[in-house]
Structures are given as structure tokens and as C-alpha cells.
Structure 1
Amino acid sequence: MGYSSEPRPWLPFLDRNDAGTRLGRALRHPGKDMPGVDSTVVLGLARGGVPVAAAVARAIGRPLGVMVVRKLGVPGSPEVAFGAVATYGGATSTVHLERTIRELRGHGYGLAELEGVDRGERDELARRQGLYVHGTQTPVAGRTVLLCDDGLATGATMRAAVVLMREAGAGVVVVCVPAAPRHSCAELAGDADRVICLQPWPNLRAVSEAYLRFGQVGDAEVLALLAGTGPLPEDSGDPGPLKWQ
């Protein structure tokens, strides 16, 4: 197992529950520029964002919802995104990272390969949507939407989520993440109304770097949290100053 001597700019979160608790506490006292919560919709980006969103929803007293998203990963290197797709309320949005796609084409990747990834991820998107969502999802038109994830890398999946909420007529779109690279926050600030990040890292290479425990979130955990039967964290410590981007 490799070891990096590079110092962390912040103490890591214990797990997604801890991260969501701290983010939720910060959102309870966001300052005068933050919209009120009366019409707020809290959505967790499935799957990893759902435990974070559950804690946020509890903290501000709003119900929890889910948005299914899928990263479009490079064939052979799925951790590298060339785009993302998101679905909510029967609508779907797709974001392509055109610069990455051009670089991939230059390295010999064909459009057929990338389109194959797109089809596969849309199939998984449909599977998860059918599993997690039963009936009509909460309308977002004219409302404040908090989009919660466990962190950002390229920001592609979050960008697809923001685009989808814009197209659905959301009044205010707020990105809420515990940790992210500063450049990803800055890029999303051009799409969302607010980007709230507790730990904007100068160089976050993987979201897992911000956590002590970062296991996979399974379908069963997502379903339990959406049903209100999953584990929710207790308040734990001062989250520190809120980072507005």
C-alpha cells in the first residue's frame, strides 16, 4: 500500500455520515445570502451522495430525495470521466467533457467505444431509477434545490445534475459537498447559484482522500435512507467556517 507524505489541508471526515452532519450544521447557519428552507428540496446524488444528503435533510428539517447520476468513464480507466448523465422526474441530461473527448480521440479511442460506455451507463441509470424511485418525484420548479454529493473530482456528474435542475425550472440551485478541488468549485460556480464546500482542497486527486472510511454505498443503504430506516449520524463537533465559492 502506497503512502503519501503530502500534508492534508484539513482533518479528514470519518465517513459520509460525519461529512453530511458537518455540512448540515453549516447549512443551518449559512448567513444572510442563503435562501430560506421552507420550499427547499434536498437531493442526494446516488449513490454516494445519499448518506450525505440524509444528514443535511435532517439538519434543516426537509425531506430527502434522490437524483440518479452516472459518470461516463474512459474505457479501461473508468475513474476518468469524459462526461456524465443524470435523471430526475422523467427527464434526463447529459454533459460531455469535450476537451477530454478530443484528447481520447487523439489517443485512438473511437466514437463507438465511447458511445458503448454511454449506452451501458444509461442502462444502469434506468435500473437504479426504477429501483430507487416509485411514483412521482418532488417537483422542483420555482424551488430551492440542494444537490448533495460526497465530494467532487471533475465535477461532471454534479454539472449534469445542475443542468437538469435548470431545465426543470428550479428557482435556486445550490451545490453542497463536503470536499472538492478548488478548480471544480470555481467551474461549478458558473452553473449553480451557490457552491457550498466545507473543504476546498488545492489538489484533491480522489474524493476518498478527504475521508478515513470511504466504502462503497450499496443499493440497500440507499433504499434504507430514502425510506427513513437507515442510520443517521448524531451531531459531532464544529464543522468550522463555511466556505463560499
Structure 2
Amino acid sequence: MFEDRKDAGRQLGKELRRLSLRDPLVLGIPRGGVATGAAIAKTIDAELDVVFAHKLRCPGHPEFAIGAVGEKGIPLFDEALLHRLGINEHEFLLECQEEIDEISRRKRLFRWVRPPAEIEGRSVIIADDGIATGSTMLAALAAIRQRRPYELIVAVPVVPRNRYEAIAAKCDQLVCLQVATAFHSVSEFYRSFTAVTDEQVVKTLRAFAPVGGG
């Protein structure tokens, strides 16, 4: 059980200190992942930035993920799952566009404070406050892998056992504090799991902004 995202990030940072990192960069997935990522970055004395990826929600059941979309607008999804749920192409494309629009909105807001960090040749750590289906993390990994990092590390407090291998297969190292056999939601692993706002993300990015940027 973690006290909050900051506590989880500190613990992850301690684990990451054991690794030989090359010019480390922490990328938080907004919004909760930025809070976790900030604590990691502070612990390992690394740069902090964001990576944009958003969950695709099932029409009529927004709590259920049907995939994810990354910052380039390329959706990641299971076609068989869409078929089983009876989601037609029109519904799917509408949901994709809605989440792409949300990514664009966040980009305008966050990039005003924090221009994109250099990725190539660095140890890049993608952080979130937990993994449920893994679709958002996989979309983030796919987007960042194209930018040629030296290595790509996932740092999360908790991941369900049935998603561990899928995530580990797409990164160079998965640093996880708890692999959960019984899993209902990320929030159950925290004592405090209050919503993170855009304003809090902006404040965090501003605090970590490199000199001369943002």
C-alpha cells in the first residue's frame, strides 16, 4: 500500500538508483504519472517531461478501456475485442478523435511550459501511477521507441500479473514495486489517490523546467 503518488515515486526512484542510467529522462503520462514521475526525477536527479497517450473508452461504459492512442494519433487496439463488444467503425473513430483532441489540448497547455526534451541516446523512464489494462503504457512506449532512446524503462508502482509480460516485452526493463494477482483498480493500492489536475501538472513541469526553457 502506497501513501500517495509521491511516496510511490520515491520508492521507484530508489530502485532506479541501482541501475546505470545514461543521462536519465523521466516521462510522466499525464496526469497521475506526472506526479509519480516528478518524485522519481527528484530522487534520481533526472530531467522531467511528459509523454502523451490516452485511453480509448468503450462507448456507454467509459470506465472500460478498449485501447489507447499516442501523441501521433495512431490507435492501439484489439480488433477482436471491438467485435465482441459490438463497437462499429463509426463509434470507434469518434472515440479516437475525441481522445486525439484531448491530447492536442494537453499539448497546447503543457508544451507552453515545457518544450519537448531530447530523447535520442538517453535512458528514458516512462512513469505512471499504475497499470490497469496496459494499453496507455503500450501506446506511450511505441511513440517513444521511434525517437531512438538508449534504453526504454517502465517505472510503475503496480501492475496486474496478467499484464506484466505484455509490458515487459515492449521495454528494456520494467521496474515495478508490486505485481498484483488480485486487481480491481489502481486506486486500491493507495491510501490517498486524489485526482491530479491540469493546473498541478503545469506547476510540476514549471518547477522542473530546464533553464532557458518554458
Structure 2 SS opposite 1:162: helix
Is 1:132 the counterpart of 2:110? The answer is yes
Asked if structure 1 preserves the Cα contact closer than 8 Å seen for 2:158 and 2:186, the reply is yes
User: How many matched pairs?
Assistant: 207
Shift of 1:140: 1.0
Asked if structure 2 preserves the Cα contact closer than 8 Å seen for 1:44 and 1:53, the reply is yes
Q: Tell me how far apart the structure 1 counterparts of residues 128 and 146 of structure 2 sit (CA, whole Å).
A: 20
Identify, as 1 or 2, the structure richer in helix. Answer: 2
Q: Tell me how far apart the structure 2 counterparts of residues 221 and 140 of structure 1 sit (CA, whole Å).
A: 24
Larger radius of gyration: 1
Q: Tell me how far apart the structure 1 counterparts of residues 76 and 150 of structure 2 sit (CA, whole Å).
A: 21
Is 1:47 the counterpart of 2:8? The answer is no
Shift of 1:92: 4.6
Amino acid at match of 1:49: G
Is 1:20 the counterpart of 2:9? The answer is yes
- TM-score calculated relative to the size of structure 1: 0.80
In the other structure, the counterpart of 1:179 is 158
Alignment RMSD (CA, Å):
1.5
Structure 1 SS opposite 2:166: helix
> Once the two structures are superposed, what CA deviation does each residue of 1:36-89 show, in whole Å capped at 9, x if it has no partner?
2342111000011001000000111111111122100101111211111122xx
Is 1:160 the counterpart of 2:139? The answer is yes
1:24-35 map, 5 Å: 24-29=13-18, 34=19
Asked if structure 1 preserves the Cα contact closer than 8 Å seen for 2:69 and 2:139, the reply is yes
**Matched residues, percent identical?**
36
In the other structure, the counterpart of 2:101 is 123
Asked if structure 2 preserves the Cα contact closer than 8 Å seen for 1:86 and 1:92, the reply is yes
- TM-score calculated relative to the size of structure 2: 0.91
Moved more, 150-159 or 219-228: 219-228
Structure 1 runs of 4+ aligned residues shifted over 4 Å read: none
Q: Tell me how far apart the structure 1 counterparts of residues 3 and 28 of structure 2 sit (CA, whole Å).
A: 19
In the other structure, the counterpart of 1:113 is 91
Amino acid at match of 2:76: V
Relative to structure 1, the CA distance from residue 170 to residue 38 in structure 2 (aligned partners, 3 Å threshold; closer, same or farther) is closer
In the other structure, the counterpart of 1:202 is 181
Q: Tell me how far apart the structure 2 counterparts of residues 94 and 140 of structure 1 sit (CA, whole Å).
A: 22
Amino acid at match of 1:41: L
Asked if structure 2 preserves the Cα contact closer than 8 Å seen for 1:93 and 1:164, the reply is no
